[in-house]
Copies of this chain bind each other. A is one copy, B any other.
């Protein structure tokens, strides 16, 4: 039923990957819609609501929270709501399944681990990105036992890839430093770097 979709989507969105929202059709016993499916179910599949139908639908509209167990061991907390038309007819059944394991792990860790007072936000921020450049280049040079000036084009590409991976270029003014370390011009660094990003074509049709 289209009317409920926004509400369902909102819930699914809010609870991120840990909640599954399912809308069932109580007449056909099939899934109408599903958000963040945790098992591989999709609209049209049988609901497998089974015992729910045994519940007295007229007595209450909201059931739960109760616990479910997934085959893979995940512990779910579920709630169910009967959604009614303006005329009172049950037009859909809403189930929200919340995966509790991540929270439980956190809680377990928390209780198991006394009171760790402060965290360790220490700055291994790497003051010395400059050193790091020297280090990465130096290491490579040693690896292929060849001085910086005798590095082949491919070598330079490789070194740049490492520097790139180390996020060196996120640092201000890094490019000239790298160029110098590689005994190469600034232009060349940009050129090679572009090549890394666009592995094949020589033409820069951008």
Interface residues of A (CB under 8 A from B): 3-7, 9-11, 13-14, 61-62, 64-65, 77-86, 94, 96, 98, 103, 106-110, 112-113, 115-116, 119-127, 129, 132, 135-136, 139, 165-172
User: Which of B77, B106, B108, B129 contacts A125, CB < 8 Å?
Assistant: B129
Quote the shortest CB–CB distance from A15 to chain B (angstroms): 8
Quote the shortest CB–CB distance from A62 to chain B (angstroms): 5
Quote the shortest CB–CB distance from A21 to chain B (angstroms): 10
Can you give 22 A-B contacts (C-beta < 8 A)? A3-B85, A4-B7, A6-B82, A7-B81, A9-B62, A10-B96, A11-B79, A13-B62, A14-B64, A14-B77, A14-B78, A14-B98, A106-B106, A106-B109, A106-B110, A109-B110, A120-B124, A123-B165, A123-B166, A125-B126, A125-B129, A171-B172
List 10 additional A-B contacts (Cβ < 8 Å) besides A106-B110, A109-B113, A112-B116: A3-B83, A6-B83, A7-B81, A10-B80, A11-B96, A13-B65, A120-B124, A121-B139, A123-B166, A125-B126
Quote the shortest CB–CB distance from A108 to chain B (angstroms): 7
CB distance A79 to B109 under 8 Å?
Answer: no
7 tightest CB-CB pairs across the interface, nearest first? A112-B119, A10-B81, A106-B106, A6-B61, A6-B81, A10-B79, A14-B79
Copies of this chain in its oligomeric complex: 2
Contacts of A96 in B (CB 8 A): 10-11, 14
CB distance B108 to A106 under 8 Å?
Answer: no
Quote the shortest CB–CB distance from A24 to chain B (angstroms): 13
Please report the C-alpha to C-alpha distance between residue A171 and residue B78 in the assembled complex, in whole angstroms: 35
Contacts of A62 in B (CB 8 A): 6, 9-10, 13
CB distance B106 to A121 under 8 Å?
Answer: no
CB distance B119 to A109 under 8 Å?
Answer: yes
Contacts of A10 in B (CB 8 A): 62, 64, 79-81, 94, 96
CB distance B106 to A167 under 8 Å?
Answer: no
